[in-house]
Amino acid sequence: MTAPFVALGAFGTAAAGLAGLLVGSFLNVVAHRLPRGESIVFPASRCPACGAPIAAFDNVPILSWILLSGRCRACRAPIALRYPMLEAANGVLWALVFRAAPGWCDFLSGAFLCSASLALLAIDAEFQILPDAITLPGIVVGLVLAFGSLTRTPLQAAVGAALGAGGLYALAFTYEKIAGREGMGLGDVKMLGMVGALLGPVGLLVTVFAASISGSVVGILLILARGGDGRTRLPFGVFLALGAIAAWFFADPLFARYRALWP
């Protein structure tokens, strides 16, 4: 844990984790309603099976799901395990980001990156889209928070955003020309603009590297398991999201080690 947060200690970590759980619950609403073009504010949460409104005491992150045995109180329709898992993942990540961040702006950008990535992961896995409503504001958030960051300058954030959006656009364009089919959507490009703004150029490269490797491994395994011609379209945003979260925690230490190899 680093300087400004030492005084807050375990209490701060627990508070960050609880806040992360609550935001994780909101991410479920975003991931469900945004791709369906519904308002993320109104109406209050309803059971997607029977339409019964969900009372506040049945909407406590993770706990309600366990107490209800993963079923709607009104109609007993199963509630997907994905909901409590997303809440738990966001809570754990916010606690870990709190322990690793050197200051408030870095905590906020790390927490934002994790939450936005989780929402994009859930949406891309189900709908194969990465909504502008998350990625474009994410670019702005990354640029603004860079002014108070202790790990990256506003220039690095701007270069990261430009490299992410511009560089990948060029790559996607070239691939399309050579292969004659679309390898990467514009949504991926905007998402990388957001990742670049929040992580800077080094974190962006680690993200792309990690996503390409893990995406290729999973793609090859799927082809081996199910057959197919390699054109099965994997939602690349899922791998970008996991890569970006990993890069927030590990890109700088990795880069420092890499640089230490050279005199």
- For the bound state, the minimum distance from the C-beta of residue 79 to Zn ion, rounded and expressed in Å, comes to 9
Within 10 A of 209 (CB to CB), how many other CB atoms are there?
Answer: 14
Non-local CB neighbours of 186 within 8 Å, separated by 6+ positions? 169, 172
Dist. CA 92–CA 98, nearest whole Å: 10
Choice between 58 and 106, CB closer to Zn ion: 58
Structure tokens at 32: 């469900």
- For the bound state, the minimum distance from the C-beta of residue 70 to Zn ion, rounded and expressed in Å, comes to 12
Choice between 74 and 108, CB closer to Zn ion: 74
Choice between 74 and 92, CB closer to Zn ion: 74
Cα dihedral sign, 125-27-212-138: positive
Structure tokens at 255: 């880069």
Dist. CA 65–CA 63, nearest whole Å: 5
- For the bound state, the minimum distance from the C-beta of residue 46 to Zn ion, rounded and expressed in Å, comes to 8
Choice between 40 and 77, CB closer to Zn ion: 77
- For the bound state, the minimum distance from the C-beta of residue 76 to Zn ion, rounded and expressed in Å, comes to 7
Which positions lie near Zn ion, rule CB under 5 A? 47, 49-50, 52, 72, 74-75, 77
3-class secondary structure, 157: helix
